[in-house]
C-alpha cells in the first residue's frame, strides 16, 4: 500500500502515517519499494507470522 492508501483506509493524516512507517522501517517490520513516484510498503515476510499472531489476540 502507499502512504496515501494507508491514510485513506485509516482516516489518518499522511504525516502521521509517514511517522509511523518510518519507525516500522527502522525496526525492519516493513520495507518499501519504489513504484514510479510513489513508494509501496510491505510487511517484512520474516515478521509476518508474528504480526498475524499478534493481530489475532
Q: What is the pTM of this model?
A: 0.78
How many independent structural domains does the chain possess? Answer: 1
| Domain span at 52 | 3-56
- CA 57 to centroid of chain Cα atoms: 20
Per residue in 1-47, pLDDT (tens digit) is 999 999 999 999 999 999 999 999 999 999 999 989 999 999 999 99
- Check which CATH number belongs to the domain holding 23 and give it: 1.10.10.10
31/43 Cα distance (integer angstroms): 6
Amino acid at each position: 500500500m502507499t502512504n496515501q492508501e494507508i491514510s485513506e483506509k485509516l482516516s489518518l493524516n499522511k504525516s502521521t502515517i509517514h511517522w509511523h512507517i518510518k519507525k516500522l522501517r527502522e525496526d525492519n517490520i516493513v520495507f518499501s519499494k519504489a513504484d514510479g513516484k510513489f513508494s509501496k510498503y510491505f510487511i517484512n515476510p520474516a515478521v509476518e507470522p508474528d504480526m498475524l499472531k499478534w493481530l489475532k489476540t
